Structure 1
Amino acid sequence: MGPDRRKPVSTLEPATRDWLEAQGFAVDNETPWIEALTHGSFNGGGGGATDYQRLEFLGDRVLGLSVAGWLYGAVDGPEGKLSQRLNALVSGTTCARIARAIGLPEHIRLGKQARDDGGLDSDKILGDVMEALIGACFIENGFDAARDAVYRLWSRELEGDVGKAKHPKSALQEWAAGNKRAMPVYQVVERSGPDHAARFTVRVSVRNVGDADASASSKGEAERLAAKAFLDAHG
């Protein structure tokens, strides 16, 4: 009897393949798509596939370049305005929101413990897997296809209000999230004057980035001005 020449059994579930193709992803070689959907905890359970981290690293850059190119052509304004929108559009929060909208959670290969711990509703996991899928698309189909996938999946976000002018504290929080930095910390470093004419100096800092100070007649206004100063200096 000759060797068994049957095609190896696919490890990509048919429903997942159908779902990927419904999102506009062209699936030929299954390996990168399986990798993109595999969390490290799944390997721990004997899943046998590399997890999504390397593809997430790549997809993060492809996403950033794709969105930056769109913003450059579609939005008038200075670099700071473009950066603010870019950071919001590629943030983990935005990636996770899109992941939920297209039904990604049910297709993630997650270990039992991580699943029991709520991993399928984790912004971090959903955002990372979303970026990993973009990385898989880039590997399999090239930059143009990956860019077009981003434009298609992000269409509502790109045309919406994500990252547009808003309160400086909100903008700074989005900047920090988009750049994978720690959240801003506000601290009153000086209070002067009588109660009826007090003046507050607030320092906002982001670990491993820097800080900025501002003064005003109220703590809230000083925080707002400090956030604006930080964005002007580091954003």
Structure 2
Amino acid sequence: MNRIILEEKINYSFKNEELLLEALTHSSYAYEHRKVKRHNERLEFLGDAVLQLLISTILFERENLNEGSMTKLRARLVCEPTLARIARQINLQEHLRLGHGETLGGGADNDSNLANAMEAVLGAVFIDGGYDACVKVAQTLFAAYIDLAIEGKLIYDHKSYLLETAHKKDFTVDFKIIDQSGPDHNRRFTAAVYIDGQLAATAEGKTKKEAEQGAAAAYIEQNKNE
């Protein structure tokens, strides 16, 4: 762990370095290293509660948002995909302490591990520096994502989003698997999305669902300024 680099990215310097180390320690590491008595699950529990309050407060300060809008926006922001995305943005995966088996299984790039560690870091900041320190960290890490969420651009289920948009704007959307290749244990599927009967975008994936999501995402990206 390079403490200084990570602290610069989250905009907070720890007084107690052990708290940060605990936040980055997966239970598998503690299990394999008996001298390590703490891992990040308790800090994750605390960080989740702190994050809910932080995001709720930031959204509340946007006076044009009603309760229903704030609830939906908070759900998009305080979720595993968003937290994992932010974790990768600050290269948190490079600082995680994982057990040998967890590392071999790709645990450093696992969304759940990254999201949990992100919450644990916030929990550690809360204990080390209090609520005001957490506000500063949240503003640093979440500001761009809050704006994206409010603009309706923080999307994870691209297919559903595209179908909803089609219903609102009165155009048709169809998905088709147009190709598949590779052996049974390593299949690759190519999906196409058709808008009003015209081919609009294609994408590949390991499953049909992944390919369709990719095709929807490609179309949305191509037309994001329209």
TM-score (norm 2): 0.64
How far apart in 1 are the matches of 2:38 and 2:152?
Answer: 38
1:87 paired residue number: 75
Q: Name the SS for the 2:7 alignment partner.
A: helix
How far apart in 2 are the matches of 1:170 and 1:88?
Answer: 15
CA shift, 1:77, in A, is: 3.2
Tell me: CA distance 1:140–1:159, structure 2 relative to 1, closer, same or farther (3 Å). same
CA shift, 1:76, in A, is: 1.8
> What count of residue pairs does the alignment treat as equivalent?
157
Q: What are the superposed Cα offsets for residues 203-229 of structure 1, whole Å, 9 maximum, x if unpaired?
A: xxxxxxxxxxxxxxxxxxxxxxxxxxx
RMSD in angstroms over aligned alpha carbons?
2.3
CA shift, 1:20, in A, is: 2.6
User: In structure 1, which of residues 60, 63, 73 is the aligned counterpart of residue 51 of structure 2?
Assistant: 63
Query: Given the alignment of the two structures, is residue 156 of structure 1 paired with residue 124 of structure 2, yes or no?
Result: no
Rg larger in structure: 1
Runs of 4+ in 1 over 4 A off after TM superposition: none
1:139 paired residue number: 127
Maintained 8 Å contact 1:85/1:164: no
CA shift, 1:147, in A, is: 1.4
Q: Residues 26-65 of structure 1: matches in 2 within 5 Å?
A: 26-46=13-33, 48-65=36-53
Q: What are the superposed Cα offsets for residues 110-156 of structure 1, whole Å, 9 maximum, x if unpaired?
A: 01100111111111000000000000000000001111101111111
CA shift, 1:170, in A, is: 5.1
CA shift, 1:43, in A, is: 0.9
How far apart in 1 are the matches of 2:84 and 2:39?
Answer: 18
Structure 1, gaps ≥5 residues long: 1-12, 172-235
Tell me: CA distance 1:126–1:73, structure 2 relative to 1, closer, same or farther (3 Å). same
Aligned partner of 1:45: which letter?
E
Greater displacement, 75-84 / 103-112: 75-84
Percent sequence identity is 37
CA shift, 1:78, in A, is: 2.4
Q: What are the superposed Cα offsets for residues 34-84 of structure 1, whole Å, 9 maximum, x if unpaired?
A: 110000000122161411011001111111111111111115232111100
